[in-house]
Amino acid sequence: MFRKQAAYAGCSLALVISFYSSGVSANIESDPWEGINRSVYQFNKKVDSAVVKPLAQGYHAVTPDLVETGIHNFFSNLGNVTSLVNNILQFKLDASLTDFSRIVFNSTFGVAGLIDVATPMGLKSTDEDFGQTLGHWGVASGPYVVLPLLGPSSVRDGLAKIPDSQINLWADEVGHIPTRNTGYGVNVLDKRVSLFSAEKLISGDEYGFVRDAYLQQREFLVKDGQMDAQFNQEDF
């Protein structure tokens, strides 16, 4: 499976590099489509306020903490596979070994990933994605863009979601469609719950705050924390 996904990602890398070579702006902080982006942002906010956030609040209220943590750990463990593939593509051998070890320990001793036994062992998640892989190899972020339902992104990171979506063990291994869709839904709610504390930090122009925070965080991740002194890991 990894060989197939690595080949797919490699092809996507070539396509995106070609896309940028044609003259697309590579300014990571540019927002030339701000008018459209703000409209999409407001659309996403209405959908979130009407549907996603209330469901996430209900899920958080009725789900025991132990169960909620187990669900979060389970999907995080699946996400380690995506991180592993992208660390391999970046030739980060130490990080690749860490991801592989996390998958092995959490999938076995952690009961299919329900318990995170790797982090207490010092094996911290690296959380790499294909957007970071492209950035690692010099592909610029491009204009900021807000994707319908998916939220803040950039041209590079938006295109990178395509190969990342192909590395999906849940879709590959779960053939029962209702169960698969239920898993997708629970994963969305789990991710929305994780944003409850972060949204309390928003001040001033909400759109601008989210945009700037997203761009700074992505630059931080692509550069593996090698930022100017004014930024540090706790900021994100």
Confidence of residue 214 (pLDDT cuts 50, 70, 90): very high
| Ramachandran class of 92: left when φ > 0, alpha when ψ lies in -120 to 50, beta otherwise | beta
Q: pLDDT tens, 100-151?
A: 999 999 999 999 999 999 999 999 999 999 999 999 999 999 999 999 999 9
What average pLDDT is seen over the chain?
86
Residue 156 banded pLDDT, cuts 50, 70, 90: very high
What value, to the nearest 5°, has the Cα angle with vertex 194 and ends 74 and 50?
115
Cα–Cα–Cα angle for 96, 120, 87, rounded to 5 degrees: 10
Does the CA dihedral 199-211-227-136 come out positive or negative?
positive
217 closest CA partner among 159, 165, 166, 154 = 154
| Cα–Cα distance measured from residue 236 to residue 224, given in angstroms and rounded to the nearest whole number | 13
Q: Could you report the per-residue pLDDT of 47-79, keeping only the tens digit for each?
A: 999 999 999 999 999 999 999 999 999 999 999
pTM: 0.80
Output the six-digit token pair for 44: 């996403």
**77 contact partners, CB below 8 Å, separation of at least 6:** 102, 103, 106, 107, 110, 112, 113, 116
Q: What is the pLDDT of residue 170?
A: 87
Residues contacting 65, CB < 8 A, separation 6+: none
Instruction: Read off the pLDDT band of 13 (50, 70, 90).
Output: very low
